[in-house]
Amino acid sequence: MLIKVGLPVDNDRGLRRCCPFCKREFKIVLTEEELKGFAQKGLESFMIEANGESDAGQSEPLQEERTCPYCGQKASVSSWWTQAQVDFFMDIARNMAIKEINKSFKRLERLNRPSSPVKFEAREIKQVEPRVLSEPNDMKVFELPCCDQRIKIKEDWSDKVYCFFCGFPHESEAESN
Ligand SMILES: [Zn+2]
Ligand SMILES: [Zn+2]
């Protein structure tokens, strides 16, 4: 089952990320292509990524690592979801499950025979209200010439900024205008 999930980005196509170590938030600026790729990804791939944290580490040599711009610690590429994003995926997954259960209850109901003394009555389970994810236009753009990428960091951050992609430490002054 492929369910497409759209993740909100801000006006700079900034996708919010959260460091699993220091819990600080930043954003990666996606290109149009990346954004399209994201929208075409199924929920399942998100779920796998969102759950990837538990078995992240040396056991999975194929897992690429990313670096926190603030604290410089490394974690697998799937470890950077914010709690809100994970909750969002969970809601969608839960609704998918509820839909399936309701469908099979309906199927059972159709098995009822007028002559049968026992009747099965399907009662619909209500779906959860999917929470609304919004993405405010906060944070400042920080250029990463090392990888030809851009991220967004906290407005008041004046310390070193590590490249999310290669881990290269940049002085904050290197920030463009
Ligand atoms: Zn961090
Ligand atoms: Zn880099």
Q: What is the mean pLDDT of residues 150-167?
A: 96
Model pLDDT for residues 102-129, shown as the tens digit of each residue: 999 888 888 888 887 778 787 888 988 7
Distance from the alpha carbon of residue 14 to the mean position of ligand 2, in angstroms: 17
Mind spelling out the 3-state secondary structure of the chain? CCCECCCCCCCCCEEEEECCCCCCEEEEECCHHHHHHHHHCEHHHHHHHHHHHHHCCCCCCCCCEEECCCCCCEEECCCCCCHHHHHHHHHHHHHHHHHHHHHHHHHHHHCCCCCCCCCCCCCCCCCCCCCCCCCCCCCEEEEECCCCEEEEECCCCCCCEECCCCCCEECHHHCCC
Confidence of residue 74 (pLDDT cuts 50, 70, 90): very high
**Is the pLDDT assigned to residue 2 strictly greater than 70?**
no
Confidence of residue 61 (pLDDT cuts 50, 70, 90): low
Q: Structure tokens of 97?
A: 């499950």
pLDDT of residue 89: 84
Higher local confidence (pLDDT), 148 or 42: 148
Confidence of residue 51 (pLDDT cuts 50, 70, 90): low
Distance from the alpha carbon of residue 162 to the mean position of ligand 1, in angstroms: 10
What is the model's pTM?
0.77
Q: What is the mean pLDDT of residues 71-82?
A: 94
Q: What is the mean pLDDT of residues 82-89?
A: 89
Distance from the alpha carbon of residue 144 to the mean position of ligand 2, in angstroms: 6
Identify whether the C-beta of residue 136 lies closer than 8 Å to the C-beta of residue 48.
no
Identify whether the C-beta of residue 88 lies closer than 8 Å to the C-beta of residue 94.
no
How would you classify the pairing of strands 25-29 and 14-18? antiparallel
Distance from the alpha carbon of residue 130 to the mean position of ligand 2, in angstroms: 36
Distance from the alpha carbon of residue 170 to the mean position of ligand 2, in angstroms: 9
Phi, psi at 144, each rounded to 5°: -120, 85
